[in-house]
Amino acid sequence: GDSVTQTEGQVTVSESKSLIINCTYSATSIGYPNLFWYVRYPGEGLQLLLKVITAGQKGSSRGFEATYNKEATSFHLQKASVQESDSAVYYCALSARTGGYKVVFGSGTRLLVSP
């Protein structure tokens, strides 16, 4: 079945430094899945950060970017300069046709930004 892998359970970055959170996926569908990053800020519900539905394209939101790399089956999340307010849990996810478009999530990466 479809799956998403996030290798880091927690990442700590100093404020104003760059960030990369790794995500790789495996999808059995013909064609390419839709890819997403969701975020849960402290005390809030899970919400969409960005999505990309076309292989090779880049999505961006709130200074974060992720590029859909179909060759590497990756969708890493990057930010050039993090802020303390970016501290949250980030989830990579996919939705594919052969999965009936159910949304499958990675295990999540907690980002701690230190001042």
Partner 1 sequence: NAGVIQTPRHKVTGKGQEATLWCEPISGHSAVFWYRQTIVQGLEFLTYFRNQAPIDDSGMPKERFSAQMPNQSHSTLKIQSTQPQDSAVYLCASSLDTGGEVFFGKGTRLTVV
Q: Which of 17, 58, 62, 102 binds partner 1 (CB under 8 A)?
A: 102
Indicate whether 1 belongs to the interface with partner 1 (CB under 8 A): yes
Q: Does 107 bind partner 1 (CB under 8 A)?
A: yes
- For position 55 contacting partner 1 by CB under 8 A, the verdict is no
Q: Is 97 in the site for partner 1 (CB under 8 A)?
A: yes
CA-to-CA dists, residue 98 to 26, 54, 72, 77, 81, angstroms = 12, 17, 20, 25, 37
Residue whose token pair is 């404020």: 15
Please report the DSSP string for 50-92 in residue order.
Answer: EEE-STT-EEEETTEEEE-BTTTTB--EEESS--GGG-EEEEE
Cβ atoms within 10 Å of 109's Cβ, excluding its own:
20
Answer whether 75's CB lies under 8 Å from 67's CB: yes
**Is residue 61 within the footprint of partner 1 (CB under 8 A)?**
no
Q: Tell me the number of residues near partner 1 by CB under 8 A.
A: 23
Does the protein bind partner 1 through residue 103 (CB under 8 A)? Answer: yes
**Can residue 36 be called a binding residue for partner 1 (CB under 8 A)?**
yes
Binding site for partner 1 (CB under 8 A): 1, 34, 36, 38, 45-48, 51, 53, 91, 95, 97, 99-108
